[in-house]
């Protein structure tokens, strides 16, 4: 079972985002598939591009694992954003725990939240305030600010 803030040591590569579902009652669900390795194979003609063929001959494709699909449900989320992972940068300012399913102790998004959300309203619903969760996928980076931990269930 995946868990936010853990290293999830059995995962060698980032999961795949399958679907995002916005529910009517301020819930958001993310359906993610863990990754699995395909077989080592290279279709590059070495005569055409021998350097590329040598590099790719050692590569293994990664696919969504249809037997390991999870639903991550955030009840009463405050804010969420999905970014193209190609345009993100690592920020040493941020303090985080976990691998692929992250909990931030310090982040630029947490710093920015008082400028876009009424903090006292959030505290009225939850005395702990908000937390920043990250889902780092193959092609997407998902950030969620929520006052409660997500509910995670395996779909298969």
pLDDT tens digit string along 12-31? 899 999 999 998 888 999 99
Q: Is the dihedral of CA 32, 35, 41, 44 positive or negative?
A: positive
Q: Percent of the chain at pLDDT above 70?
A: 89
pLDDT at 27: 93
The gap from C-alpha 1 to its chain's centroid, in whole angstroms, comes to 15
Judge whether residue 134 has pLDDT over 90.
Answer: yes
pLDDT at 110: 87
Q: 49-61: per-residue pLDDT in tens?
A: 777 777 777 788 8
Q: 76-103: per-residue pLDDT in tens?
A: 888 899 999 998 888 899 999 999 999 9
pLDDT at 142: 97
Among 94, 98, 105, CA closest to 129? 105
Q: Are strands 140-146 and 77-84 parallel, antiparallel or unpaired?
A: antiparallel
DSSP string of 14-69, one letter each residue? --EEEEEEE-TTSEEEEEEEEEEE--------TTT-HHHHHHHTT---EEEEEEEE
Comparison of pLDDT for 148 and 47, the residue scoring more: 148
Q: Percent of the chain at pLDDT above 90?
A: 51
């Amino acid at each position: 079972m995946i868990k936010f803030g853990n290293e999830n040591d059995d995962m060698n590569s980032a999961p795949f985002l399958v679907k995002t579902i916005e529910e009517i009652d301020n819930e958001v669900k993310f359906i993610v598939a863990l990754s699995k390795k395909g077989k080592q194979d290279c279709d590059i003609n070495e005569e055409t591009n021998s350097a590329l063929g040598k590099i790719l001959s050692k590569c293994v494709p990664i696919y969504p694992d249809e037997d390991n699909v999870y639903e991550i449900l955030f009840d009463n989320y405050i804010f969420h954003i999905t970014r193209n992972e190609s345009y993100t940068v690592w920020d040493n300012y941020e303090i985080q725990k976990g691998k692929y399913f992250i909990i931030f102790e310090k982040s630029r998004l947490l710093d920015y939240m008082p400028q876009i959300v009424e903090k006292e309203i959030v505290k009225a619903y939850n005395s702990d305030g908000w937390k920043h969760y990250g889902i780092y996928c193959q092609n997407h980076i998902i950030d969620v600010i929520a006052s409660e931990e997500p509910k995670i269930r395996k779909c298969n």
